[in-house]
A and B are shown apart, each in its own frame.
Chain A
Amino acid sequence: MTARDHDAVFQALADPTRRTLLRALSASGPSTLAELSSGVPVSRQAVSKHLSLLQDAGLVVGRGEVRGRRYELTPAPLADALGWMVDVGAGWDDRLARLKRQVEGRRR
């Protein structure tokens, strides 16, 4: 997983509608465009665009013919991005920065 792939994931997560769609797919499993559109206050066209961006980020895959196509969550890139976030903060510089904040914070 490259930094560029993470860019796509974080960009995908930066929008509240897309986060809602991901949550819906996670809760309900594979869903059609119509089903997904009923749960968000935006047009079906807009949902279609969001799904396209989520697919580009590798978070969603569409299966079947265009009519009745079902969209499915593919969470692997999320796990990779989470791993990246955990790694940030595990280096000595991050530890030293936290130590400084905590020591100085206690004295105020």
Chain B
Amino acid sequence: MATYWLPTLPDGAMFGNRTVAGTWTENRGEMSTEVHEEIIEAPPEDVWGFMVDPAALSAWFGADAWLEPEPGGVVRFRFTGGVERRGRVEHVAPFRTLTWRWREHLGAGFGSRIGEPSFVTIDLRRVPGGTRVRITERAAPALAEAGR
């Protein structure tokens, strides 16, 4: 899979009808956005099942995953080594889009560490031959984290 470093373009301008798989990073000031794409030879309905079924999600994610696919639903990924990433579902459009906000939690109590929050969006789009899966991760405003 190729990695691209693209200059900043207006929202939406860079994607167009692009259907090739790849990875790139956009930089807008301090905020960095990672974009990863893959074409999967299956309809979006099939791929969606791998997003919302915790066992299937765990298998491809490489972490013990729990995700409640509804706005405000709990998202939790337990990785090997005691790292956990957790947060809330922000947006769900079945068979199309899933967005959650998460941050890293390492340890508990004194000495625990909490990472910077970010948004993860998984976008499925039907393309000839299957589904284009695009995963975008971008920094989330820390202010809105209060109370989470």
Tell me the complex Cα distance, A96–B122, Å.
11
If A90-B79, A97-B38 touch, does A103 touch B61 (CB 8 Å cutoff)?
Answer: no
Question: Which of A83, A98, A106, A107 is close to B62, meaning CB atoms less than 8 Å apart?
Answer: A98
Interface of B is mostly: mixed
* Chain B positions 50-67 with a Cβ under 8 Å from a chain A Cβ: 50, 56, 59-62
Q: Give every chain B residue within 8 A of A39 (Cβ-Cβ).
A: none
Q: How far is the CB of A87 from chain B (nearest CB, A)?
A: 9
If A92-B137, A93-B1 touch, does A99 touch B62 (CB 8 Å cutoff)?
Answer: no
Number of interface residues of A (CB under 8 A): 18
Tell me the complex Cα distance, A60–B135, Å.
43
A contact residues vs B (CB 8 Å cutoff): 83, 86, 89-90, 92-100, 102-104, 106-107
Nearest 4 CB-CB pairings of A with B:
A99-B60, A96-B38, A92-B36, A98-B60
- Residue B23 interfacial (CB < 8 Å): yes
Contact between A103 and B36, CB atoms less than 8 A apart: no
Q: Give every chain A residue within 8 A of B135 (Cβ-Cβ).
A: 92, 95-96
If A92-B23, A93-B36 touch, does A86 touch B80 (CB 8 Å cutoff)?
Answer: yes
B contact residues vs A (CB 8 Å cutoff): 1, 23, 34, 36-38, 40-42, 46-47, 50, 56, 59-62, 79-81, 133, 135, 137
If A99-B38, A102-B56 touch, does A89 touch B62 (CB 8 Å cutoff)?
Answer: yes
Q: What's the count of A-B pairs with C-beta under 8 Å?
A: 55
Contact between A99 and B36, CB atoms less than 8 A apart: no
Q: How far is the CB of A37 from chain B (nearest CB, A)?
A: 37
Contact between A98 and B1, CB atoms less than 8 A apart: no
Question: What are 30 A-to-B residue pairs whose CB atoms are below 8 Å?
Answer: A86-B80, A92-B36, A92-B135, A92-B137, A93-B1, A93-B23, A93-B36, A94-B62, A95-B61, A95-B135, A96-B36, A96-B135, A97-B1, A98-B59, A98-B60, A98-B62, A99-B38, A99-B40, A99-B47, A99-B50, A99-B60, A99-B133, A100-B38, A102-B56, A102-B59, A103-B40, A103-B50, A104-B42, A106-B46, A107-B46
